[in-house]
Structure 1
Amino acid sequence: MDISVTTEAWTVENRSWLGSRDGTPYTESITLHVPSFTANLHYPDGFIPSGILLAKYTSGPNVGLWGPYAGATSESQTVTITGSPTGGTFTLTFDGETTAGIAYNASAAAVKDALAALPGVTGNDITVTGGPGPGTPFVVGFKGQFAGENVPQMTASGSGLTGGSTPAVTVTTTTAGGSGNTSGLDVPEGFLWNSTHLRAGGAERIGAPLLWRGVIRVNRLPANSGLDEAARTALAAKFRFKG
């Protein structure tokens, strides 16, 4: 007779992050790669909570298995005016399109308006901080449709600037966009449907269901869900986000 003590872990399922039943009858069976999840981050109490954002390995030794979405960094670029101009304008060129002239002493809002007026760009796609010129650089952040992407670096022309000592405008990439993860985990695919029990040192692979379309209440997702702006943009065709 075996009289050893055994324990079993339980959790109460919480899907308050789900906004409707749309998509729930069509979950997909996948296989998680357990070592890809970090105990203290993804399953501190022994369970990966439902609502964790997942991605699929497309290269390397774990092809076909699933792990946590690795996230992506949105790009920022710094525009600096040198030579202390006292008048005139400068321009910025992004992806082949050039802005109208921007005043040498423009505010951050004016630089944003000039960029947002370019074809294919909206005010929701960029942020601009810093300024006013020429004394303080402008930092252009890319979001919206450009969230998480390694966008082309802007170029600038200071030929319209006057006064000062050989005024010019330079652009440098402050933070490169995109992800250093090339295994596929930088491409979000869907959310874990069932809270899943994991044990460090246990099975390397475990089956789980994936919700790949539906309505998500963002403010109810688990704190470690991994959802970022880049993921929201990438998943917009499959999911509707509330909050």
Structure 2
Amino acid sequence: MDIQPTTTSETVTADRPWLLSLHGSETNKTITLDLTKFSEDVHWVEGTAYQPMRRLKSGLPLGKITASGLYAPYAAATNEVQTVTVTGSPTGGTFTLTFSGQTTAGIAYNATAATVRTALEALSNIAPGDVTVTGSAGGPYTVTFGGAYLGDDVAQMTATSSLTGGTSPAVSVATTTGGGSASASDGTQVFAGLLFTETAFNPGSTKCGAALMVHGDVSMAKLPLPFERPTNRTDSINFS
């Protein structure tokens, strides 16, 4: 493998702004992706009513799952996971979340996970794709950091409650998994290459074919996800 990240602004194609030259495109290998491992906005974008196919972003760093032989997002470091828990069975009111000095608008006591995510993405330091939020309406909510915070040990959010009703309603935040503190162990901790081109797939699909780029020059700043030098490779990878 020979992928050389550089800092020049030269690009080749509109859907591959990170690619600096076509050198190496002839060495791409055909692979199969495990689509269950990819997340909306972080890795793919939703289609439209007229073009319903979802689109994986070109340039995604990938690793190979040992057990299945399928490819998934490269995961050398864990992403931060924080849990937001509402207690006391409130019947009204709101709460806010603060991340690195930025505070959300009021979030309803029975908000859905999507509403919590929208509130976080409205902050100036969290862009679409930087967090995913899961959980039932009213919580607990599991907030997973990615995007610009991929593999980072981020500050723990804090919460302020204006909840009403119930019995002493409150909201708390706990760090479930510290970011950057450990490596995956399923094989994706080993960098395999980059998704060569934007790849479409049908909603509901669990697998799709793709092209893996293993040789060429790329602009690190223009890759769709933050990418750092892999430290656990046994073969060569050159960085300028």
Q: Normalization by structure 1: what TM-score?
A: 0.49
Relative to the length of structure 2, the TM-score reads: 0.50
- Structure of larger gyration radius: 1
Between structures 1 and 2, the one with greater helix share: 1
Higher RCO (CA < 8 A, seq sep 6+): 2
